[in-house]
Amino acid sequence: MIRNYRLLVMFLLLLLFQHTNVKGQEKKLMYGKTPNKIFPYNNFQKAYKYFFLESVPFLGAGREKLPPKGLKEVRIGFLGPLEGSDLVSLGKQMLNGANLAIKEANDKGGYKGIPFKLMVHNDVGLWGAAANEVVKMNDEKDWVWLGSINDVVSHVALRATLKMEMMMVNTGDPDPTFTETNIPWLIRVISDDRQSSYALASYIYEKMGHKRIAVIRTNSRYGRVGIMEYMNVAVRLGHPVMIEERFDDGDTDFKMQLDNIKRIAPDGILIWGNAKESALILNQIRKLGMIQPVYASDRVVSPEFIKIAGKNAEGIVSTSPYNPNANNSKLKSFQKNYFKNFGEAPDVFAAHAYDGMSLIIKAIQKVGLNRVLIRDILMDLKTFQGYQGVTGKIILDQSGNDIGDIFMSKLENGKFKFSPVPKF
């Protein structure tokens, strides 16, 4: 009994209330923008102390350092899956978005006439390898770096960036625990899977009225951590997931898992994985004669998913970290320039990389070439809070996590249509 009480107290200590200033109006938000209805234990007990109320400060030296003289380029690091990874197509889009922001900045004169240069590094999702790449960025005198998508890579690289004292701007990792590390050298400019889980749970249970949901997810960290918040919300709403089946990235046969799901007759199915495997699973669901509505994580919002799933993709519902059809002049200009430079439409990783790199460039132009000052300005909520990017308004909480708007996405007539998320 005492042990259970202590566990409950420890859990409560990890939660918090926080205040975020939006348009000069202070709004009271739960940690992670969690709705009151599903905030753990909120209806029973308030915690003695809540964490993450303030950004973690960096109290070390370095702000007094002057930039080196005679620089011929301002180096900015990049870490992304470009070879040897299942996420190569996403990494290349992220690289394109970052490169476009660099090109546009250089066309306007760079930094005081000195061009920006992107120093590109590949990640392959291996423990330790990412840390080595960050050390290389330090050796090549990068001022700040952008990346990555793979959650294992991002977590390892984060520890290295702390040691190197070089700011990290993440634009691709949706792991909800990423910014909870309390490392004062990062911000994330993309919403996490916590936000997607809340939106999906609200849509599935509150709007569509489902009660018996089956989950099939990738066995990677992306699936394990990504689905975690959804599973917790389902329990709080009184509809625990009926079954959770798993698969490995690269699998093509899912009959065993789907037979297990078919046996319990759920009224809806949630797929959590990359675009390729999600499409193959959807095809096999329909081949087995299963007619339940299918929902999915936001990686299905891609041409690859539509190409593989074909007509089976019609009606699938997911979330999206931004609305590519928004009435946003910056977005329209970005999409036009992106297509002109790369011959294809930008995806979510290209758009967020563009926004992240734009913030990096603005920070350097504002405070100059000093790693600590670049860190300070990027983590200063007052300076860039509510910055209007191509992905919409960027709003960071005190942990450096982007809690700006996300959207529901539904495939209709071969195209994804976007709408606001339902509210609890």
- Report pLDDT for 28: 56
* pLDDT the model gives residue 23: 39
Where do we find the tokens 């979510």?
348
Residue 309: closest CA among 273, 345, 293, 285: 285
Give the global pTM: 0.91
pLDDT for the residue 43: 73
pLDDT at residue 311 in the model: 96
pLDDT at 50: 67
> Distance between CA 146 and CA 312 in Å, rounded?
36
Asked: is 194-320 a CATH 1.20.1050.10 domain? The reply is no
Which among 277, 287, 288, 344 is positioned nearest to 311, based on CA atoms?
A: 287
The three-state secondary structure class of 277 is helix
Q: How far apart are CA 337 and CA 124, in angstroms?
A: 29
- Give yes or no on whether 74-191+326-394 and 194-320 have one common fold: yes
CATH assignment, 74-191+326-394: 3.40.50.2300
Domain ranges in the chain are: 1-53, 74-191+326-394, 194-320
Residue 323, pLDDT score: 97
Closest CA to 292 of 228, 217, 210: 210
Q: Which residues in the chain come in under a pLDDT of 70?
A: 1-30, 50, 381
378 vs 381: CA distance, rounded Å: 8
